[in-house]
Amino acid sequence: MKKEITRRQLLGYGAVMGGTLAGGAMLGNDMAIAGKDKKTWAYHELDPAETEKLGYEGFYEGRCCFGTFKSIIGQLGDKYGAPYEDFPFEMMKYGTAGVAFWGTLCGAMNGTAAAVGLLLSGEDRDKIITSLYAWYEKTEFPIYSPPKPVHDCNMPKTSAGSVLCHRSVGKWLQASGNTFISKEKLERCARVAADAAKKAVELLNAHLHGTFKEGAISTTASSCLACHGIEKEANALSKMDCRICHGDKLPHPKR
């Protein structure tokens, strides 16, 4: 992408001109530009299939959180230049393996949510992330089958039941008989990154075209939240499927 003079350079120029008449005129102009600048993080339609491929490749470049984020924001940078291309992508590596190998939020969910958060705000952002996470909890993946896999290996599908890396990876390792440090596990997570990136872009496209419908959280969570929602008395802050930690036992042993 050919670079034009960036807005930042223009703003710098305005500062140099400060105090002069021309500088004053420039300042007014700058403010208009600065206001517009915020909107340049807008989403432009992306191809889900292309994003899926980039998610897979991005995983091998910098793992789950980095790869999924870059498959969206980096792709916008390749197509539309600034400000997307100026993002410090390297920082997204913090999310690897549930944040610095803590096994908390799956990096593919962290990276895609960060991309959504950069492009949208408020309810729109939260509804898309909720739909993405609800999809992740219940979907059997990996779905993506790369034409030229980095590691061509047996690839069972498992549903994570949770957005937590710990459980998502753990269930797949049990089903496949692999270990965390195996190349098979890397390949699995690369394909999950592809799936997540594709799903995020499908949701963003639907939002762009006004056809987006919020995905439902698990029936367990919604039944428990009837009493435990954040605005209720016995409140618990979560939209996660409660079963994975609290089990299925209802009614409560003691209430």
Residues near ligand HEC (CB under 6 A) are 220-221, 223-228, 234, 236, 238, 240, 242, 244-246, 250, 252-255
* Residue 158 or 218 with smaller CB distance to ligand HEC: 218
8-state DSSP, 217 = P
CB of 193 to ligand HEC, least distance (A): 22
CB of 161 to ligand HEC, least distance (A): 9
CB of 105 to ligand HEC, least distance (A): 11
| H runs (alpha helix) in 70-218 | 75-80, 107-119, 122-138, 165-176, 183-208
Q: Which amino acid is at 95?
A: G
CB of 87 to ligand HEC, least distance (A): 31
* Residue 165 or 189 with smaller CB distance to ligand HEC: 165
Dihedral angle sign, alpha carbons of residues 229, 230, 235, 237 = positive
* Residue 174 or 223 with smaller CB distance to ligand HEC: 223
CB of 130 to ligand HEC, least distance (A): 13
Q: Rounded CA gap, 91 and 93, in Å?
A: 5
Q: Rounded CA gap, 55 and 196, in Å?
A: 8
Q: Rounded CA gap, 184 and 250, in Å?
A: 38
Dihedral angle sign, alpha carbons of residues 181, 182, 185, 187 = positive
* Residue 121 or 235 with smaller CB distance to ligand HEC: 235
Integer-rounded Cα Rg, in Å, for the chain is 22
CB of 219 to ligand HEC, least distance (A): 10
Q: Exposure pattern of 152-180 as b/e (b: 16+ CB <10 Å)?
A: eeebeebebbbbbbbbbbbbbbeebebee
* Residue 145 or 223 with smaller CB distance to ligand HEC: 223
* Residue 132 or 224 with smaller CB distance to ligand HEC: 224
